[in-house]
């Protein structure tokens, strides 16, 4: 049974649904926002909800003019806390090459720290996850995702992108290496990381 509750607020309406199980009775409450003009219901997907909750973060970086067989690395370090970091990455290049995302590399120096920003620019919330450019890599770790992007044929030389659309929940206290190996000279490459945080 679903019962409407008159909240007196045009912007939302609440519904209470009674659900009976053999052991107990549960009550589920849902809040639906309504458009002021049409009163049509407005639904947010979960990622959009996390942005509004000030718990969604992103960063991006570009490196220009990589030589043929040149390697560009970015290091992501996950704090050892009770939070879970749900992430998606993207590596884009102007020419073809290999793109990798690897877990638990051995790093001797972190490199240059990069800014990680809250997507709600009014929020003062910050993340403890860190990202660095040009770490010193002793071992690349275990490969999670890899792909060949772009084309380097004589007919058409084009760039491409590796984007992981299914999120990874990153391991607490672990490091991750985003890595691009260029096929040809004068390659520009970009790395983008997006993530949100949830308590375990």
24 and 73 share one domain:
no
The pLDDT mean for the chain works out to 81
Residue 86 scores a pLDDT above 70: yes
pLDDT at residue 24 tops 70:
no
Do 101 and 18 reside in the same domain of the chain?
Answer: no
Q: Which pLDDT score is estimated for 20? A: 44
Q: What percent of the chain has pLDDT over 70?
A: 68
If one counts the domains in the chain, the total is: 2
Is residue 164, in this structure, part of any structural domain at all?
A: yes
In a domain, 93, yes or no: yes
38 and 98 share one domain: no
Report the pLDDT value the prediction gives residue 27, as an integer from 0 to 100: 54
143 part of a folded domain? yes
Q: Is residue 17 in a domain?
A: yes
Three-state SS at 169: strand
Question: How many whole angstroms separate alpha carbon 13 and alpha carbon 9?
Answer: 7
Domain hosting 7: range is 2-43
pLDDT given for residue 7 in this prediction? 42
pTM for this one? 0.75
Higher per-residue pLDDT: 173 or 49: 173
Is residue 85 domain-shared with residue 122, that is, in the same domain? yes
| 150 — pLDDT class (breaks 50, 70, 90) | confident
Does one domain contain both 7 and 72?
no
Is residue 49 included in any domain, yes or no?
A: no
Report the sign of the C-alpha dihedral through residues 4, 6, 7, 8, in that order.
Answer: positive
Let me know whether 26 and 111 are in one domain: no
Q: Virtual CA dihedral for 178, 184, 185, 186, nearest 10 degrees?
A: -70
- pLDDT band at 55; cut points 50, 70, 90: confident
- Residue 54 is predicted with a pLDDT of 66
**Residue 171 confidence (pLDDT) above 70:** yes
Whether residue 29 has pLDDT greater than 60? no
Same domain, 70 and 167: yes
Please tell me the least confidently modeled range out of 25-34, 116-125, 141-150, 181-190. Answer: 25-34
Residue 148 lies inside a defined structural domain of this protein:
yes
Instruction: Give Cα 95 to chain centroid, integer Å.
Output: 24
Q: Is residue 52 part of a domain?
A: no
80: in domain = yes
* 174-198: pLDDT as tens digits: 999 999 999 989 999 999 999 999 8
Cα–Cα distance, 107 to 175 (Å, whole number): 9
Residue range 116-136: average pLDDT?
95
Task: Say yes or no: 70 and 97 in one domain.
Answer: yes
């Amino acid at each position: 049974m679903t019962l409407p509750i008159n909240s007196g607020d045009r912007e939302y309406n609440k519904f209470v649904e009674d659900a009976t199980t053999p052991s107990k009775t549960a009550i589920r409450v849902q809040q639906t926002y309504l458009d002021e003009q049409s009163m049509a219901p407005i639904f947010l997907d979960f990622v959009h909800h996390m942005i509004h909750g000030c718990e969604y973060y992103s960063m991006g970086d570009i490196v220009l003019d990589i030589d043929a067989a040149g390697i560009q690395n970015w290091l992501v370090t996950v704090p050892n806390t009770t939070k879970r970091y749900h992430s998606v990455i993207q590596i884009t290049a102007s020419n073809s090459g290999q793109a990798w995302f690897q877990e638990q590399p051995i790093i001797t120096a972190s490199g240059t720290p990069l800014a990680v920003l809250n997507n709600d620019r009014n929020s003062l919330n910050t993340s403890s996850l860190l990202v660095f450019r040009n770490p010193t890599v002793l071992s690349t770790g275990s490969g999670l995702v890899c792909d060949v992007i772009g084309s380097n044929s004589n007919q058409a030389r084009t760039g491409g992108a590796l984007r992981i659309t299914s999120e990874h929940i990153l391991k607490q206290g672990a490091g991750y290496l985003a890595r691009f190996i260029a096929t040809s000279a004068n390659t520009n490459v970009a790395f983008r990381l997006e993530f949100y945080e949830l308590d375990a």
